[in-house]
Structure formats: C-alpha cells, structure tokens
C-alpha cells in the first residue's frame, strides 16, 4: 500500500512544527528548514518549484516524526494495508470534514482517503494557560522551560495520544469497509423507506457502527474517542422508544461484539419500532398516502364512499385499515366539493 500526502497538508503540518508549536524541535533544525525553504523560491518553473517544496516538506515531515503516528497505527490494521492500493492523506480545514473514506474505481482499485487537520499532528499551543506562561521583564533571558512551560508540555503531550485514538477509530472504519466478513455496502439495502426514513436509518447506522468500533478499540486496551457512558447515552437517545432494559442489552451486545456485520446493523436500523407489521396505524408512523409521520390519524370507519373512491383511484393498493392522516383527509375533502362541501359547491 502506498501512503500519499496532499501538498497543503504536508506544508501546514511541517510549518506548524517549524513555527514553534511543537516542543522538542531543535531551533537549529528550524533555521535549516527555513534556509532550505527560502532557497526553493528561486526556482522559476512553478511545477518544478512545487515538486521541490513537496520533497522538502516530506523530508521534514519524516525528520520531525510527524509520519510516525500514522504508520504505527496503520500497522495495527494489516487488512487495510493489504487491501488498499493507496492511502491518501489530505488537509482538512474544519473538524466536521475530518475522517476516512473508501473509494473504489472501475478497475476495482481501492483508495482510502483520510482527511486530517494538521493541528492534530503538530501540538497546538492554546492561549489559555497564561498564568504559568508569564515571565517578568527581569527574567526575560531565562530559558522558557523555567517559566511554567510545564503546562504547555502537559497539554501537548496529550496531542499525539489524541491523534492515535482518532487514527485508530478512522482506520477501524476503513478496516470494516474492506473486510469481506463485515459485508459492507455503501448503499443501505432498505426497500420501502422514504427519504426521511432513509436519512434516519443512516444516522442510526452511523451510531451503531461507531459504538462497535469504540467497543473493539476499548477491548483492545486502547482509549476510545469517547467513554462508554457517552456512547450508551447516545444510543439511548437514538432508541428512546425502546424500554431501558432493551436499550441496555442491545448496547452491551454492540459494545462487546468483536465481529459486527453490516447486515446486523441493517436489521437494527430498518424498522426498530416494528411499525411495518403494526395492524393499526401507530402514533408517529408515516401516513401511507403522503409519507409524513403523523400523530393525527383520521377515523377511517366513517369515511364517505366518495372519498374512499377518490383515494382508491390514486392509491389502488390502499385499504382503509392502513389509515390516513387528517391532513390527507382534508385534502380529499376539499377535492370533492360537489358531494362533501355544499358551501363550496354553492359558490
């Protein structure tokens, strides 16, 4: 598997290191980096210049150990290394954009694309640890280590760990997508769901998948991105219509499942309220005519014959037992002025 980097990602990560964001980078090396970088500006051909910058940034990316967390965590996922042709790392500017995706071309070649904020690699100092950071004018020549930089070091020491946790989580997604036993399919095979239900199903799929990944990460002795309680609460919110015991049992089975399957997720997301098999319309279920979820079902026992006929003309498969919402009933009442709305008919 090839590991490739986006130019902007490399430059941003290396630059953050060189600008003093990363402790432990010798100042002589930073000076050398800038000197080498400055020299490249004299290359006139833009393509040559870009290539030279890329090589320089890649060299320093490796020299400063920024690649190490990536390769080390990747080593924990032999299947990913074996089945991916390329893993490309690109720069992500915003947190919501971060994550791993799998692309398969027509020839069946698989490429993983990891979007990552460069700040995750080069520990970022924050401005809110100032009390320890201040120094007095008299002591301005004293090395910064003597003036409370310990707070900074503590903050930065966490950065690589957080990076590894994040990478482990994202590579686990890639692993599942590549694992034939998982049976991943990008399209959710859930016939009969409307667009709103499909969106909800995707959200549930994401929730379940994250839970199983975090459970496996925890079982392997690593720190999950969020603690188990956080995921349990998220699951309880997503399946709030279940009794608490059922929520707890299902969550535990997901968290402890070492080999989850795509099909298992589909079974849990498609119709968790079992509304499809309900013989009577349930509160919050979609109206069979307009597909909007409703809590206001019309009384089909007293439906005039005219309306039933009109509905049957447009929905031949519809039977009164399936019900219809009050809004649909109003629509069909309004559409039958002659028989049902004498006030309108008289106009």
Of 4, 20, 75, 246, the one binding other proteins (CB under 8 A) is 20
32, 81, 125, 261: residue in contact with other proteins (rule CB under 8 A):
125
Q: Is 20 left (phi over 0), alpha (psi -120 to 50) or beta?
A: left
Given strand 2-5, what is the order of strands in its sheet? 2-5, 86-91, 110-116, 99-104
Of the residues 28, 44, 94, 313, which one makes contact with other proteins according to CB under 8 A: 94
Q: Is 158 in the site for other proteins (CB under 8 A)?
A: no
Task: Please select the residue that binds other proteins; options are 140, 240, 302, 338, rule is CB under 8 A.
Answer: 140
Is residue 12 within the footprint of other proteins (CB under 8 A)?
yes
Binders of other proteins in range 44-63 (CB under 8 A) = 53
- Binding segment (CB under 8 A) for other proteins, from list 35-43, 103-111, 293-301, 306-314: 35-43
Near other proteins by CB under 8 A: residue from 127, 313, 317, 347 = 127
| Contact present, 162 and 116 (Cβ < 8 Å) | no
* 37 is a site residue for other proteins (CB under 8 A): yes
Total count of residues recorded for the chain: 347
Q: Which of 4, 62, 135, 154 binds other proteins (CB under 8 A)?
A: 135
Decide whether 48 or 203 has the Cβ nearer to other proteins.
48
Using rule CB under 8 A, residue 23 touches other proteins: no
Determine if 137 is a binding residue for other proteins (CB under 8 A): yes
**Taking the complex as a whole, how short is the minimal distance between the CB of residue 27 and other proteins, in angstroms?**
10
Contact residues toward other proteins (CB under 8 A) are 8, 11-12, 15, 19-21, 34, 37-38, 41, 53, 91, 93-95, 117, 119, 124-127, 130, 133-137, 140, 144, 147
């Amino acid at each position: 598997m090839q590991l490739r980097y986006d130019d902007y990602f490399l430059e941003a990560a290396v630059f953050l290191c060189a600008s003093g964001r990363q402790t432990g980078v010798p100042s002589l090396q930073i000076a050398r980096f800038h000197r080498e970088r400055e020299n490249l500006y004299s290359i006139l051909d833009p393509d040559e210049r870009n290539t030279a910058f890329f090589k320089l940034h890649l060299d320093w990316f490796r020299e400063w150990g920024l690649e190490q967390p990536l390769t080390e965590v990747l080593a924990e996922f032999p299947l990913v290394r074996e089945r991916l042709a390329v893993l490309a790392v690109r720069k992500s500017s915003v947190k919501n954009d971060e994550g791993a995706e799998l692309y398969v071309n027509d020839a069946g070649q698989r490429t993983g694309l990891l979007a990552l904020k460069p700040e995750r690699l080069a520990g970022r100092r924050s401005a809110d640890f100032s009390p320890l950071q201040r120094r007095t004018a008299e002591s301005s020549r004293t090395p910064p280590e003597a003036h409370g930089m310990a707070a900074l070091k503590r903050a930065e020491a966490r950065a690589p760990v957080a990076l590894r946790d994040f990478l482990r989580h994202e590579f686990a997604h890639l692993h599942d997508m590549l694992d034939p036993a998982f049976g991943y399919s990008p399209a959710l095979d859930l016939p009969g769901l409307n667009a709103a239900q499909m969106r909800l199903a995707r959200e549930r799929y994401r929730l379940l998948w994250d839970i199983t990944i975090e459970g496996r990460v925890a079982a392997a002795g690593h720190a999950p991105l969020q603690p188990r309680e956080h995921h349990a609460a998220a699951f309880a919110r997503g399946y709030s219509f279940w009794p608490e015991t059922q929520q707890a049992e299902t969550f535990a089975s997901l968290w402890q499942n070492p080999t989850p399957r795509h099909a298992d997720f589909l079974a849990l997301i498609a119709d968790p309220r079992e509304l499809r098999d309900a013989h009577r319309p349930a509160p919050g279920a979609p109206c069979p005519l307009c597909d909007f979820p409703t809590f206001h079902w019309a009384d089909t026992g007293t439906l005039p014959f005219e309306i039933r006929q009109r509905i049957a003309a447009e929905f031949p498969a519809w039977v009164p037992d399936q019900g219809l919402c009050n809004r649909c009933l109003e629509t069909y009442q309004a559409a039958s002025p002659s028989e049902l709305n004498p006030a309108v008919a008289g106009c």
